[in-house]
Amino acid sequence: MVGAAARLGEVEPRERAGAQTGRKYEYQYERTARASLDLLVDSCKQVCVYCDWHDDYVAEVGDSPTRYVFHQVKGRSTSQGPWSFSEFFGVRKKKSVVQSKTSPTAKLDAIVPRMLLHKTNFGVNCAGLVFVTNAGLDSSLSGFLDAIAKVGAENDLPKEEQVAFQHLVRAYVSASPPLVPSAAALFQCLSMVKVFTDQGQLENAEAGILEIANLAVEFSEIDLRQRQAKQIARELVSQVRGKVAHSTTVVPASEDHLKRDKGIVTADLLNNLSLSVQAYEQLKAGASHETVKTLSRLHRYCVSHAMELHLVQICEFKTRWDVWRTVERHFIGTADFLLLERKASDVIKANLKIEDVIAEAKDIAAQFASITATPLTPECVLGLIFSLAAQSEAPPGAQFAIGAR
């Protein structure tokens, strides 16, 4: 069952459909675009999202050597109702304990049979199997999956679910070629399966775009208007569509080549969100959940004040300020903190040259040096000054030219 741990670019996909038209395909592109935004969330540990390569999308996760989580996305109209056991597994759910004389036949185009191919192809590099849908599951299917999730081995399943499981095993083992080699292998694979229901909108295209637009607001400009956010959402979906349409990748393909052809990485998202990749990397380690929003404002401020070339250095100041504030925020008095912010704000309003700004930062740092255990350095104060400048959108005349200190 377990392969030789192949990489994603080393195995030819079963099919290469390319970009398709129709609302169900657009739904798949929207879910992929939505998943790509998780690249900006550190807790997700995603490094790339591959579009329509071995599955509807594949998330590359973890530190090197990375692994893959395969996502099968299927939209379903309301009139079709929830997904049934037979639609999911390709075999009807057996309830009778009496075993049939002949092995049941599994439909190989059902959801789980297609998932099992990834475990065969990629072995331990397959980190997960995920089904994403806008619909729900019927009770017989959800009950069976819940039972699988709760026990550690197939023999621990409740009697009714054990009958259904053994029926599945017979169907999958007798397939040509076998989908699994044994009951233990099937149980291991099913334990990896996750199902996300009620995801996105199939029958309302506008609602699908709005969901992504709302996330764009969270990760981008703090003052994005809805029209702008929707445009960004459409651009993200269009980017996915373009990656799906690419059909000339030659296998075996290097990791870098496959990413260029079929993948979406952090840099692609930041380009759509008008953010600096270097600055994002500088800031995200030391900032809070508001990192990307803050960076967006800072980036915009630097561009409008002809300081884009110095953005990384400015972000270093900002990071130092964030670290100092995180450590000392519980120990500095409110009055002192407000006074510190007011002095930094006064520097912005004074439209000083950069050498004078640096001198003021040194004076402010010296004034507040003794009130906290962690010294407030001039670099921290410069980080505070630029943070406030970005937030307040200082007038165009306040153009600092960062030079040697």
Determine the distance from the C-alpha atom of residue 49 to the mean position of all C-alpha atoms in its chain, rounded to a whole number.
Answer: 8
The 10s digit of each residue's pLDDT in 155-199 is 999 999 999 999 999 999 999 999 999 999 999 999 999 999 999
Residues 243 and 301 in one domain: no
> Has residue 40 got a pLDDT over 60?
yes
**Alpha carbon distance 7, 5 (integer Å):** 7
> In the prediction, which pLDDT does 392 show?
59
The 10s digit of each residue's pLDDT in 227-271 is 778 888 999 999 999 999 999 999 999 999 999 999 999 888 877
Segments forming the whole domain that contains residue 373:
277-392
**In sequence order, which residues have a C-beta less than 8 Å from that of residue 395 and are 6 or more positions away?**
351
Percentage of residues of the chain with pLDDT beyond 70: 87
> In the prediction, which pLDDT does 96 show?
87
Q: Under a CB-based contact definition with an 8 Å cutoff, are residues 153 and 187 in contact? A: yes
Q: Which is nearest to 30 in space by CA: 82, 88, 75?
A: 75
The 10s digit of each residue's pLDDT in 303-315 is 777 777 777 788 8
Q: Do the domain assignments include residue 118?
A: yes
Residues 36 and 178 in one domain: yes
Last residue of a domain, one of 250, 274, 298: 274
Q: Under a CB-based contact definition with an 8 Å cutoff, are residues 186 and 170 in contact? A: no
Residues 232 and 150 in one domain: yes
Percentage of residues of the chain with pLDDT beyond 90: 58
Residues 269 and 281 in one domain: no
> In the prediction, which pLDDT does 32 show?
97
**Alpha carbon distance 175, 38 (integer Å):** 37
> In the prediction, which pLDDT does 398 show?
42
Strands 67-74 and 263-264: unpaired
Last residue of a domain, one of 231, 252, 274: 274
Q: Which is nearest to 380 in space by CA: 319, 292, 309?
A: 319
Number of separate domains in the chain: 2
Residues 317 and 345 in one domain: yes
